[in-house]
Amino acid sequence: MDYLQLHGKQSINGEIKISGAKNAALPLIAISILAKNNINISNLPNVADINTLLKLLSNLGATCNKGTNSVDIDTSKLNQTKATYDIVKTMRASILVLGPILTRFGHCEVSLPGGCAIGQRPVDLHLKALEQMGANIEIKSGYIEATAPNGLKGCEIIFDKITVTGTANILMAAALAHGETTIVNAAREPEVVQLCEVLSQSGVKVEGVGTAVLKISGSGGKLLNMVDFSVIPDRIEAGTYLCAGAILNQKLTITNTEPKHLGAVLSKFEEMGFTIETTDTTITILPAEKIKPVKIVTQEYPAFPTDMQAQFLALATQAEGVSIIEERLFENRFMHVSELQRMGADITLNGHTATISGKSNLSGADVMATDLRASSALVLAGLIADGETNVHRIYHLDRGYESLEKKLQNVGINIKRLKE
């Protein structure tokens, strides 16, 4: 098993190029199930979750020819409708094939998903919405068995809570459904917006893109002539590397990014005393005279993202004063706190709220990653810690960050990947 070894308090210099967004690429790969033609997806991040979903599609009968950062997908000969446990258990996003397989074939079996243990992310909202569209759904032996022999029917769906994967799943299901589907309380994340845009470019009428109410006019079962497209930049990866510059309090520029997708994150950097400079595709963070404490509440887009909470918690250990971070979306998303405490961080947990007292002098230690974003928080802490930090169980990290150690090496960080 691999681990990362790094030595803190390095000087950095240069730029980091941001990869395509994993959370955009996954539904965009799943949407290929709706295509009657071969499609090319470019700016694809080379991370484990992408390879897992492509393997799942291949098992269903698709042809996937993958380059380093692109893939050609042909699902015209798809002949299986069962997504098996051995693949789905490793990644919750596998549930994204449920909507497109069901709307295309009228039946499917998808294993209940696995993935990061950051809280219960039930698929009930997905299933309830599909039942409203006419599907019959049963849970048997750990599998979701869904049938819609006469196709799915458009209707109004009101999500009780905002769900990104739920919105994506129903968008794809609605694309081939009969009639118009309205999704109320839809997720507005940039990754959902791109899914809507690709559907629109492929002939599906989608109204309300970027708002909480989406209207989709289904094709009545006809497969789509889908366009080639490039995945949007990863806003969470961008935010993570900006945190690297911030925790070291040194200048760092990231390229191939989309600043408008990071509004809430950039605002928090500025609250903490950093200067942010942007162009259309770059963001530069400049050192703060004094790193100020911050108050953060995680909420759905366009508010502060839960996927940046762990990184800012690590950054807050270097602020001069008391920071408060409230996690409102996932109940188990502070598992990295105990590892940061082992490095010397002064953090108190009370339910869904973390209180961080800074500035802490962190010391290098052996630490263990518990989920994808916690992994990056431990790397960030290692950047500023005295001595050597070893981050173990980085298979979590590899699910969502492409070549993290190489990108950090390129700006001067002493970090390397080793075998246990």
Residues with Cβ within 8 Å of 399's Cβ and at least 6 positions away in sequence, in order, are: 22, 47, 48, 49, 91, 116, 372
Whole-Å CA distances, 324 to 302, 304, 383:
20, 14, 22
Catalytic: which of 108, 116, 196, 243? 116
Q: List the Cα angle 17/22/23 in 5-degree steps.
A: 130
Task: Please name which of 112, 157, 158, 150 lies closest in space to residue 134, comparing C-alpha atoms.
Answer: 150
Residue 209 corresponds to which tokens in the numbers above? 């893109």
Residue 301 corresponds to which tokens in the numbers above? 């887009």
Contact 319, 359 (CB under 8 A): yes
Residue 96 φ then ψ, to 5°: -65, -15
Contact 155, 171 (CB under 8 A): no
Reduced to 3 states (helix: H, G, I; strand: E, B; else coil), residue 155 is: coil
Q: Would strands 39-42 and 213-217 be described as parallel, antiparallel, or unpaired?
A: unpaired
Q: Check if 196 is active-site.
A: no
Q: What is the DSSP letter of 403?
A: S
| Region of residue 234 (phi > 0: left; psi between -120 and 50: alpha; otherwise: beta) | beta
Active-site amino acid positions:
116
